[in-house]
Amino acid sequence: MRAFIDKLDPTLIRVPGTAVFMTGHLHVVPMALLHNLRHNKVLHEQVVLMTARARDVPHVPAVQRVTVEKLSKGFYRVMVSHGFMDEPDIPGSLELCRTHGLSADPQVTSFFLCRETLVPSPRPEMNPFEERLFILLSAGNQPATAYFGIPPDQVVELGIQIEV
C-alpha cells in the first residue's frame, strides 16, 4: 500500500471530501480504489482504507473499536473491530475515528465497494452442476451495504467478474 501511495501521480486531480474504500486486506490496494482511479481518474482529498473484523468476543467497547494509522498524501488505514453480537456500523465507526485524528463527516462521505460477480469458467475445475450451485448460493448473500450499516445512497459499487 505504501509503495502505491508513493507512486501516485502528483498531477492526479484530488476532489474535496472523504472516500472510504472497504477492503479485506489492510496492506493490499483495494480493487475498488484501482478501478476508481482507472475509470474516473480522480481521488478524494482524504482516502480511508477500512477493514472490519468480527472478534471472538460478544461486544467490543467503543474505545477499542477503531485503530487509525495515518499514512501519507491524505491516506488513512482504519481497522474496525466488532464483537460477534454487535451489529457492524461503519458510519458510526467512522465517527469514532475523530478521537484518533481522522475527521470525516459520515453524512457526506462516499463509500466505495467492489462487487464481485461469479461467472462460470470456460475451463471449470468443478463439475458444472457444483459450479452453478455455488454461483446460485453466492448470489443470495446479504449485500455489504446492509451488513455494514452503510446508507445505500452513499455507496459507489465498482464490479468485477470472477470465474469459478
Which is more confidently placed, 129 or 91?
91
Q: What is the pTM (predicted TM-score) of this model?
A: 0.82
Q: Report d(CA 10, CA 79) in Å as an integer.
A: 27
Q: Would you place residue 43 in the very low, low, confident or very high pLDDT band (cuts 50, 70, 90)?
A: very high
Q: Would you place residue 118 in the very low, low, confident or very high pLDDT band (cuts 50, 70, 90)?
A: low
Which is more confidently placed, 74 or 127?
74
Q: Would you place residue 139 in the very low, low, confident or very high pLDDT band (cuts 50, 70, 90)?
A: low
Q: Which domain holds residue 91?
A: 2-163
Domain count, the chain: 1
CB 86 within 8 A of CB 96: no
